[in-house]
Amino acid sequence: MGTTSKWVRAVLGLGAAVAIALPTAGVAGAQEVQWPEPSGVAGAPALEGQEQCAPPEPGAGPQTATAGDVGIDQAKLDEAIAFAASRMRINIQVYRNNCLIGRGPLNDHTDDLRWNIWSSTKSVVAMLAGIANGQGKLDLDAPIGQYLDEGQGDEAHRAITARNLLTQTSGLQQSIVSEGVPSGLDLDPSIVEQALALPVIHEPGTFFEYTQRGPDLLAHVIEKAVGEDLQAFAQRELFDPIGVGADRYHWSRDRSGNTYGFAGLFIPPVDFARIGMLLSNNGEWNGNRIIPVDYMRQLRTPSETNGCYGYLTWVNGSPCTPPTLPSRKTFDMSPFAGMPEDAFATVGALQQNNFLIPSLGMQVTWNGFLGDVSPDPSTVLSANSNSELYREFLRKMLAAYEAPSVPDPGAYEPTFNLDIDIPNLANPDVFTAPFGIGPMAPENCDVFSCGEAPLRPPLQGNEGCFVIACLPKQGTGSA
């Protein structure tokens, strides 16, 4: 089958999908969780009689095992995968103890498709912050003004810390749709200047508000802290060690050349799984410590302002405040209620996920379009942390575990958010800011120019990547 037909079959064969940049979903002093000892990761005791695999070497695929080799019921695993495939999952990978034990029916056509992982990009930025922190280059509690150019941002913005940005407690005004749409259309002149022009409406560190410009600003702060282009740093310190070549992905930039932190990493599912495996292995890859242990503990620890959110990553805790879509609402329910306490996930719009339960050696990586079935509209739009899709799939997945057996976490029970908060959902001042219009527009910055540096024309240099996925590369068998 030709490259283009593979792409069309994988992406368009599921029906038309329209998406805009709407990613779905501790501070100092937060109580850290003492996680159970991971299973199948570096330093963990081997599970008796179960196959243990090492993370894949560069240029090699993952090691495989049968379900029975790792204490999983094959028929129930097949049932879980079939369920996920029926919910518009274009790629499904199931691992235990780092061994690949299950794949989705479309994987042969989508394994190498560069796919926007949306807000799972935020978790990658959090990983880079951990690497920079471990190298002594980024102080999580120092004001970011320490890293910004002189005169860049006012006193209130310069007082924000990297930890505030990691926990989505920067205090910046947010408007999830208004922030995302110009980015999806490749119109942003400078996400850094746009972030620094947003008003600080809450004291940093005191109020959780899911924002897009906050992670964008963090990506810039990391870049300034390490003294080189963020993507060059990421390639050498993160992607190369886990075997992801620079030609395997596209990471979007704004028209000034700043790397997006809130979304925009287009990466094949098989490489997205490597990111998940590094997290599952507590930041270590074949004996190479990439992310410090203490930072990994913080990343998975619920923050003081949101019980289900760590460092740009969703964790197993409550009460839980999802993204502000259609309004900000807090639920007394964890995204992984009834499951092992160390469950956590990277979460991207339309459901691009790495589900990780290290104590069970469990990793599920999938990509696709939406998939929730619920009477709650925000759940259908993949914006409610109480996901019907997660719940029902993970119930089936955990039921397949024979060694050890895992109690049923219980059926999905809908939670509703029917209140619409227009200013925080689609604030016109946030939307017009990239055009140089309104009170939140950065000074001397609009869609035509931003300061003295010229802007890249829209939709140029994006390697055929737009909104959801990348077009196939000429002369290759992958996107």
353-402 pLDDT, tens digit per residue, is: 999 999 999 999 999 999 999 999 989 988 899 999 999 999 999 999 99
Please tell me the predicted confidence (pLDDT) of residue 479: 64
Report the alpha-carbon distance of residue 163 to residue 22 in Å, rounded.
23
- HSE-up of residue 66 (Cα within 13 Å, Cβ side): 6
Element (H, E) at 357: strand 352-357
Residue 477 inside a domain? The answer is no
Mean pLDDT, residues 329-354 taken together? 95
**What integer pLDDT is reported at residue 382 of this predicted model?**
86
Q: Please, which pLDDT band fits residue 424 given cuts at 50, 70 and 90?
A: confident
pTM: 0.91
pLDDT digits (tens, 9 = 90+) for 235-271: 999 999 999 999 999 999 999 999 999 999 999 999 9
40 within domain boundaries = yes
Q: Assess if residue 46 is contained within a domain.
A: yes
pLDDT in tens, 458-474: 999 888 999 999 998 76
Task: Kindly state whether residue 72 falls inside one of the protein's structural domains.
Answer: yes
* pLDDT-based confidence at residue 304 (cuts at 50, 70, 90): very high
Higher pLDDT, 18 or 1: 1
Which parts of 242-325 are beta strand (E)? 250-251, 265-267, 284-285, 288-289, 314-315
> Would residue 187 count as lying in a domain?
yes
Query: Sorting pLDDT into bands at 50, 70 and 90, what band is 478?
Result: low
In this structure, are residues 249 and 331 in contact, taking their beta carbons and an 8 Å threshold?
Answer: no
469-470 and 465-466 strand pairing? antiparallel
Is pLDDT of 325 > 60? yes
- Residue pair 191/213 in contact by the 8 Å Cβ criterion: yes
- Is residue 351 one of the residues assigned to a domain? yes
Alpha-helical regions (H) of 87-119? 107-110
Instruction: Indicate whether 18 pLDDT > 90.
Output: no
Please count the other Cβ atoms lying within 10 Å of the Cβ belonging to residue 218: 29
- Boundaries of domain holding 136: 3-470
The pLDDT of residue 461 is 83
51: left (phi over 0), alpha (psi -120 to 50) or beta: beta
Contact predicate 190/258, CB 8 Å: yes
pLDDT band at 475 (very low <50, low <70, confident <90, very high): low
Q: Does residue 479 fall inside a structural domain?
A: no
pLDDT tens digits, 211-224: 999 999 999 999 99
**pLDDT at position 1 over 70:** no
460 Cβ contact partners less than 8 Å away, ≥ 6 residues apart: none
Helices and strands in the chain: count of H runs, count of E runs: 16, 13
What is the number of structural domains in the chain?
1
The tokens describing 50, both together, are 């179960």
CATH of the domain at 139: 3.40.710.10
Q: Is residue 478 part of a domain?
A: no
Percentage of residues in the chain having pLDDT higher than 70: 89
